[in-house]
A and B are shown apart, each in its own frame.
Chain A
């Protein structure tokens, strides 16, 4: 595989097997898309969807706002790679630095190997199978997107591309044209899924796709918590990751979607995530961005039905060379809808975080309540944080709150903790962990623990 300009995977000495069952040409063309779709044996409508998206993509340009994306070379990307079934790289081949990080975070051996992409994933497969048996009994569908399309074509066709239209933005168009992998989840009426559905239990040969496509449908009165990613660093040799996540929350249903993104620092992570929420439904995005070179991601919620509620909790950490442009959007289309966006960002070592958010209240949506809190913490003089809150309020009878703070760690706070026997690094990581605590406490326990450890590692400067 040829190294692209922004691909610094070689730094980690990461070896990938050269044996591919099928590998598309570099760059994108109609022929590449036809080949992808043909290879997957997709129905005609999906091929048409892809081609239409591709034509739309060709007319799109990079956004004029947000992070600097000029480093992406779209011609130097393999848009589809189908790996062989057996991975040949081994745990022993992994660089000490990565193994060390995994050890410090304290993840179990089996999981480590899986994360490093060197495991045959037998352990997870066993877990997945037993979880899936349980889900099946309740009528819950939890598959990778390609299998979902094969097994539930009508359901997929009904919703696919309805929440995020293929021509929504350049990266949504690109994803719609070349998507592969991702999850398909359907929760039937009134069914409550007790255990969080974790994406890494869902077995998929191409485990971490570049252009993942996820569709979650929570039918009336149901509830589900979906967890994507993990706190451990994911080393990817692909420089562009552009996922689309669509979620449909029906009347009275409740969905929480938790993401912990920790891609390696060569990755451009440009993701479109959106939900449509019906009457009295609840959508919660818990979105943590720690890794990547550039992330642009603003989980969005369209509150379409009366009394629907939406919440976005966002944490961003930007270290040296990183730009996290994150936030959230809520569009109130109906009366008595409520929303909250809480964003916490940390910048260190010249890193840059931006909060970009939108609260919109459509004409006719009465008694709407919304609250936005964005707090930024700067750890040194070289780091940067910006806030771009957008409010479009077209109705009078609303209650909108907005609070924003930018703080630095004060000398007196540091002195206080040092006077309790903590070193400067320990004190700093304690303050930072305290700062993000309101969001971390919403994470599943093991993720919360790993998150705290990871922040501590960042403070030591031994990672990143």
Chain B
């Protein structure tokens, strides 16, 4: 279970999240909905430990983010990720010269290391950057990446390109989805994965989310619109307005938002 308790977070002097709590079980799909500026993306960043945000306890209550019983709050971003957390970025920056495949390879080895790490640099320089990941050879891994890429309509040539370098909005989102499917996280957060996608791409991304959920990943979809929720069906919906969860409900709640918007909550919270 991913259990988030009493998280209050600020950016500089500005308080953005105020006493936020949420629990997600394996295989569940949660939607966090809210208007622009409600703190949705901050919520996603704070889970991963983005250095720009400061997390403080709320009114004497103990703040915590526990992943299957392990406290993440004091851990560095990469350690949280190694424990099984994943974030698909809303608008990931490019890293020229670092190919999609190279990043996936490196990330997978870090996140799924073999129990006992083999000594690096055995033998020749060409092979010195050896592969070591649990239960899969490099050849199998590369085949798996290519196969997933095909399934979500990513052309193989993309895997050789610099990550997000010159990619369109939709291509970026698909590569983020590819990354999630390859890395097999225990809990995954998708930040505005539906913005800027055409219907076909939206369906592909939705199918990816459904696939992760079926594999047992606990998924949180952060979104402004109900659009993607026509293709995936959350078991839980949470409405975030001005940094506070104002309502928790089932999938039906998202449909109501589609009709009524956020106006009602915004009046309440002011």
The answer to whether B128 touches A453, judged by C-beta atoms less than 8 angstroms apart, is yes
Contact assessment for B92 and A416 in the assembled complex, using a CB-CB cutoff below 8 Å:
yes
Chain A, Cβ-Cβ closest to B107 = A420
Chain A hits for B129, CB < 8 A = 449, 452-453
Write out the residue numbers on chain A whose beta carbons fall within 8 Å of the beta carbon of B124.
106, 108
Mask of A381-421 contacts with B, CB within 8 angstroms, 1/0: 00000000000000000000000000000111101111111
> What residues of B have a CB within 8 angstroms of the CB of A435 in the complex?
96-97
Binds A, one of B59-67, B74-82, B207-215, B261-269: B74-82
Chain B 114-126 interface 0/1 with A at a Cβ cutoff of 8 Å (1 = within): 0000000101111
Q: Beyond A434-B162, A438-B97, A449-B126, is A421–B51 a contact (Cβ under 8 Å)?
A: no
A131 within 8 A of B: no
Q: Tell me the minimal C-beta distance from A217 to chain B in angstroms.
A: 32
A419 near B97 with CB under 8 A, answer no
- Asked whether A431 is an interface residue with its Cβ less than 8 Å from the other chain, the reply is yes
The answer to the question of A103 belonging to the interface, with a C-beta cut-off of 8 Å to chain B, is yes
Q: A410 to B92, alpha carbons, bound, how many Å?
A: 12
The chain A residue sitting closest to B112, CB to CB, is A421
Chain A residues whose C-beta falls within 8 Å of the C-beta of B97 in the assembled complex: 433-438
List of B residues within 8 angstroms of A446 by Cβ? 125-126
Residue of B81, B89, B95, B179 with most partner-chain A CB within 10 A: B95
- Chain B residues with Cβ below 8 Å from A449 are 125-126, 128-129
| B residues contacting the other copy or chain, number (CB 8 A) | 34
Within 8 A of B (CB), among A426-454: 426, 430-431, 433-438, 445-446, 449-450, 452-453
Contact indicator B125/A453 (Cβ below 8 Å): yes
Whether, in the assembled complex, A84 has its beta carbon less than 8 Å from a beta carbon of chain B, the answer is no
A125-149 interface (Cβ within 8 A of B)? none
Is A426 within 8 A of B106, CB to CB?
Answer: yes
- Alpha-carbon separation in the docked complex, A103 to B106 (Å): 21
Is B125 a contact of A450 with CB atoms below 8 Å? yes
Produce 1/0 per residue, A95-117, CB < 8 A to B.
00000000111111000000000
CB-based contact B110/A421 at 8 Å:
yes
Residues A422 and B110 in contact in the complex (CB < 8 Å), given A416-B92, A417-B95, A433-B97: yes
User: Which residue of chain B has the shortest Cβ distance to A111 in the bound complex?
Assistant: B125
B2, CB-defined interface residue at 8 Å = no
Of residues 108 through 143 on chain B, the ones whose CB sits less than 8 Å from some CB of chain A are: 110-111, 121, 123-126, 128-129
Q: Does A419 lie within 8 Å of B77, measured CB to CB?
A: yes
Give CA–CA (A419, B89) in the complex, Å: 10
B98 CB contact (under 8 Å) in A105, A415, A433: A433
- Closest chain-A Cβ to B85's Cβ sits at a distance in Å of 9
CB neighbours (8 Å) of A162 from chain B are none
Of A106, A417, A438, the contact of B121 (CB 8 Å cutoff): A106
- Provide the residues of chain B in CB contact with A430, threshold 8 Å: 95, 98, 102-103, 106
Is the Cβ of A411 less than 8 Å from the Cβ of B52?
yes
Interface residue? A31 (CB, 8 A): no
Q: A435-B97, A436-B97, A453-B129 are in contact. Are A420 and B81 (CB under 8 A)?
A: yes
Least CB distance, B192 to chain A, in whole angstroms: 15
Does any Cβ of A come within 8 Å of B248's Cβ? no
Distance between Cα atoms of A445 and B126 in the complex (Å): 8
CA gap between A423 and B106 in the complex, in Å: 11
Task: Provide the bound-state CA to CA distance between A437 and B94, in Å.
Answer: 14
Per the 8 Å Cβ criterion, residues 8-64 of B in contact with A are 48, 50-52
Task: From A105, A106, A421, A452, give the contact of B81 (CB < 8 A).
Answer: A421
Cβ of A104 and Cβ of B121 under 8 Å apart? Answer: yes
Please name all residues of chain B whose beta carbon is closer than 8 Å to the beta carbon of A445 when the two chains form the complex. 126
Residues of A within 8 A of B (CB): 103-108, 410-413, 415-423, 426, 430-431, 433-438, 445-446, 449-450, 452-453
Please list 24 pairs of residues, one from A and one from B, whose beta carbons are closer than 8 Å in the complex, sorted by A's number.
A105-B128, A106-B124, A106-B128, A108-B124, A411-B51, A413-B93, A417-B95, A417-B103, A418-B77, A418-B78, A419-B48, A419-B81, A421-B183, A422-B106, A423-B76, A430-B95, A430-B98, A430-B103, A433-B97, A434-B95, A434-B162, A449-B128, A450-B125, A452-B129
Which residues of B line the A interface, CB within 8 A?
Answer: 48, 50-52, 76-78, 81-82, 86-87, 89, 92-93, 95-98, 102-103, 106-107, 110-111, 121, 123-126, 128-129, 162, 179, 183
Can you name 13 extra interface pairs (CB under 8 A) apart from A106-B124, A436-B97?
A107-B125, A411-B52, A416-B92, A416-B95, A417-B103, A418-B78, A420-B107, A421-B110, A422-B78, A434-B96, A437-B97, A438-B97, A445-B126
